[in-house]
Structure 1
Amino acid sequence: MTAPYRCPNCKTNRSRFNLIKQEAQSVKIDPHTGDIIQEYSSTTLEPFHLPYNGPSIKVQCATCGLIEDELTFVKFGER
């Protein structure tokens, strides 16, 4: 997204941010050991395994450390 950001927590930072790219990995884990039993692709998910539908980017304020969705920083930057 190309838009000005502003931190909703410290309210002063408009220029220093860390962009965190999120990459979901769908797995089935053994409930007793925690070992990965199976990895899934987005086309081979089982019926009760929902695909990840969260944001692909999170933003961290490099001044105060707040981490939120990118849209939160964009909406506060509009003010």
Structure 2
Amino acid sequence: MSQPYLCPKCKTNRTRFHQIVQEVRPVKLDPHTGEIAEQFSNEKLDAFHMQYNGPDMRIQCGACGLNEMEECFITFAKNDAHN
């Protein structure tokens, strides 16, 4: 369901945003080169690899550049006294 946004930093932008969809790729890096040594699936992580539990999407204000979780923009729009 769509929700209105309001930027909590610039407090004026209600229309220009970037929806940033995050793609999770569990990997193991070589500690010396930084190259990917191994890739995992989310279902088959090794014993020392915690599963990602962050947001699937983040929002960036198209006016001031603030980058936060979507709930932050939605909550600020709901609590706005000028709405």
TM-score greater than 0.5 by the shorter chain: yes
Q: How far apart, CA to CA, are the structure 1 residues paired with 2:43 and 2:71?
A: 28
Q: How far apart, CA to CA, are the structure 2 residues paired with 1:27 and 1:60?
A: 26
Residues 1-79 of structure 1: matches in 2 within 5 Å?
1-79=1-79
Q: How far apart, CA to CA, are the structure 1 residues paired with 2:69 and 2:41?
A: 25
Match of 2:27, SS? strand
Residues 16-50 of structure 1: per-residue CA shift (max 9 Å, x gap): 11100001110000101111110000111011101
In structure 1, stretches of 5+ residues that fail to align are none
Match of 2:19, SS? strand
Q: TM-score, normalised by structure 1?
A: 0.95
Runs of 4+ deviating beyond 3 Å: none
Identity %: 51
Q: How far apart, CA to CA, are the structure 1 residues paired with 2:77 and 2:3?
A: 8
Q: TM-score, normalised by structure 2?
A: 0.91
Q: How far apart, CA to CA, are the structure 2 residues paired with 1:15 and 1:43?
A: 38
* Number of residues of Structure 1 aligned to a counterpart in Structure 2: 79
Match of 1:54, SS? coil
